[in-house]
Amino acid sequence: MKSPLYKELISHIKKDYQPNQKLPSERELVEMFKVSRSTVRLALNELEEKGLIYRLHGKGTFVAPTFIKQPNLGSMYSFSSQMEGEGKEISTKNISLKLCTPEKEIALQLNLASNDQAYELIRLRLLVYNRTYLPEKIFPNLTLDDLNQGTLYGTLKKKYHQISVLAFEDVQTVNLTKEAAQLLHVKENTVSLKINRKAINDKNIPIEFTQALARGDKFVYRSKQYNE
């Protein structure tokens, strides 16, 4: 039995376009594949629901980064969200900030050249240990004092006029290192959730990449699953 037209279009898009590549407009896809606009919209909606593409207002539609493993993690639930909902104070401790040359994996997520530097920010927020990387060329002269004056995103917006309009996350289970375990007040090798987060600004430029470790007994996530 022949697949529906929109499924065939989905297959073409998956095969023909690379991560972060901009897709043609709806009109261009109609002309390229000789299908109706409703067929194009069905295909794009399904791809977006599965986390395979994303849209930026005024910029277009793009193929999602390759590191995304789990669709629709926008529905993530965390212990910090529960605390906020209960009206309890959320504290953030900025431990250190330094310039470094990021590892290849991190540089790739931030579109950095081999000689580009980034700030490495280590902080503890509730029961989550965060290691955040911020490109120096986007955030020159960033200091720990800046970050201690307010929230991370508040500082990036106020001092550098940078706003995150979209973020991608993936989650996996790992065993905590001795350093992380001490900060999270659990034993070494305790199972935790590792969250990789990539934030993008309104020009489709990555401005932040965070690797977070959350206590497995205080943090869960939910996601939608789709049947092909």
The 3-class SS string of 104-139 reads HHHHHHCCCCCCCCEEEEEEEECCEEEEEEEECCCC
- Residue 126: pLDDT band (50, 70, 90) is confident
Q: What is the pLDDT of residues 182-208, one digit of tens each?
A: 888 889 998 888 989 999 988 889 999
What b/e sequence results for 174-199 when a residue is b if at least 16 CB atoms lie within 10 Å of its CB, and e otherwise?
Answer: eebeeebbebbebeeebebbbbbbbb
For the stretch 3-54, pLDDT in tens is 778 888 888 888 898 888 899 999 999 999 999 998 899 899 888 877 788 8
For the chain, what percent of residues have pLDDT higher than 90? 37
Alpha-carbon span 73 to 222, nearest angstrom = 7
Q: How confident is the model at residue 58 (pLDDT cuts 50, 70, 90)?
A: confident
pTM: 0.66
Whether the per-residue pLDDT at 173 is higher than 80: the answer is yes
Bridge partners, residue 94, by sequence:
123
> Does the structure show a pLDDT above 90 at 221?
no
Instruction: Give the model's pLDDT for residue 85.
Output: 53
